[in-house]
A and B are shown apart, each in its own frame.
Chain A
Amino acid sequence: MFDYTIRRTLLAIPTLLFISLILFLLLDLAPGDPTANLPLTIPPEVKEKIRLSLGLGEPLAIRYLLWLQQFFINEPLHYLTEITGWDLSGDRQRVLSWQSRSPVADVIAQRIPQTLWVVGMSYVVGVLIALPIGIISAYRQYSWFDQVGTFVSMIGFSVPTFFTGVLLIVVFSVELGWFPSIYDTTHVVEDWSSFVFQVKQMIMPTMVLALYNAAQISRFMRASMLDNLNQDFVRTARAKGLRESTVILVHVLRNSMIPVVTVIALGVPTVFGGAIITEQVFKVNGLGQLLITAIQANDIPMVQSLTFVFAILIVAFNLIADILYGVLDPRIRYD
Chain B
Amino acid sequence: MAMNPPHSESPVLSVKDLCTVFSTRDGDIHAVNSVSFDLYAGEILGVVGESGSGKSVTMMSLLGLVPSPPANINGASVQFEGQDLLRATDRQLRQVRGGRIGFIFQDPMTSLNPVFTVGFQLSESLKRHLGMTRKEARSRSIELLELVGIPDAGRRISDFPHQFSGGMRQRVMIAMSLACDPSVLIADEPTTALDVTIQAQILELIRDLRHKLGMAIIWITHDLGVVAGIATRVLVMYAGQIVEHGRAEKLFANPSHPYTKALISTVPAVRGHRAKRLNSIEGQAPTLYAPPGFCPFSSRCANVFDRCRQEVPGRMQVSSGHDAACFLLEEQGHVATS
Contacts and interface: CB of A to CB of B under 8 A. Distances in A.
Task: Decide if A and B are genuine partners.
Answer: yes
Interface of A: 231-233, 235-244, 246, 251, 254-255, 258, 328-331
Interface in B122-176: 124-125, 128-129, 160, 162, 173, 176
B115 interface: yes
Interface of B: 63, 65, 90, 93-99, 102-103, 105, 107, 110-116, 124-125, 128-129, 160, 162, 173, 176-177
Given A241-B129, A242-B94, A242-B124, A236 B113 contact: yes
A105 B94 CA distance: 61
Given A232-B107, A233-B111, A241 B65 contact: no
Nearest to B115: A254
Closest 4 CB pairs of A and B: A241-B98, A240-B98, A239-B103, A241-B97
**Which has the most chain B C-beta neighbours within 10 Å: A231, A240, A243?**
A240
Given A251-B113, A255-B115, A328-B115, 19 more contacts: A232-B111, A233-B110, A233-B111, A233-B113, A236-B111, A236-B173, A239-B63, A239-B103, A240-B98, A240-B124, A240-B128, A241-B97, A241-B99, A241-B125, A241-B129, A244-B90, A258-B115, A330-B115, A330-B162
A240 B162 contact: no
Given A331-B160, A331-B162, A239 B114 contact: no
Contact of A232 (B110, B116, B125, B176): B110
A254 B65 contact: no
Contacts of A258: 115
Contacts of B97: 238-241
Nearest to A330: B160
Nearest to B186: A239
Contacts of B112: 233, 236
27 contacts: A232-B111, A233-B111, A235-B65, A236-B105, A236-B113, A237-B113, A238-B97, A239-B65, A239-B102, A239-B103, A240-B124, A240-B125, A241-B125, A241-B129, A242-B98, A242-B125, A242-B128, A243-B94, A254-B113, A254-B116, A255-B113, A328-B115, A329-B114, A330-B160, A330-B162, A331-B114, A331-B160
A328 to B, nearest CB: 7
Contacts of B160: 330-331
Contacts of A331: 114, 160, 162
Contacts of B98: 239-242
A280 to B, nearest CB: 43
Contacts of B103: 236, 239
B67 to A, nearest CB: 9
Contacts of A330: 114-115, 160, 162
A238 B63 CA distance: 10
The A contact surface, by secondary structure, is helix
A267 B279 CA distance: 60
Contacts of B96: 241
Nearest to A228: B113
A239 to B, nearest CB: 4
A235 B111 contact: yes
B127 to A, nearest CB: 10
A232 B105 contact: yes
A153 B222 CA distance: 46
A246 B160 CA distance: 19
A239 B107 CA distance: 14
Contacts of A232: 105, 107, 110-111
Contacts of A238: 65, 97
A231 B128 CA distance: 22
A328 B235 CA distance: 44
Contacts of A243: 94, 128
A166 to B, nearest CB: 43
A240 B104 CA distance: 10
A236 B120 CA distance: 14
A233 B173 CA distance: 11
B83 to A, nearest CB: 14
Nearest to A251: B113
Contacts of A240: 97-98, 124-125, 128, 176
A195 to B, nearest CB: 41
Contacts of B95: 241
Contacts of B105: 232, 235-236, 239
A194 B260 CA distance: 83
A65 to B, nearest CB: 48
Contacts of B176: 236, 240
Contact of A241 (B94, B107, B111): B94
B61 to A, nearest CB: 13
B271 to A, nearest CB: 38
A255 B161 CA distance: 14
Nearest to A238: B65
Contacts of A235: 65, 105, 111
A279 B160 CA distance: 47
Given A236-B103, A239-B97, A240-B98, A231 B115 contact: no
A243 B103 CA distance: 16
A256 to B, nearest CB: 10
A238 B67 CA distance: 11
Contacts of B115: 254-255, 258, 328-330
A246 B112 CA distance: 15
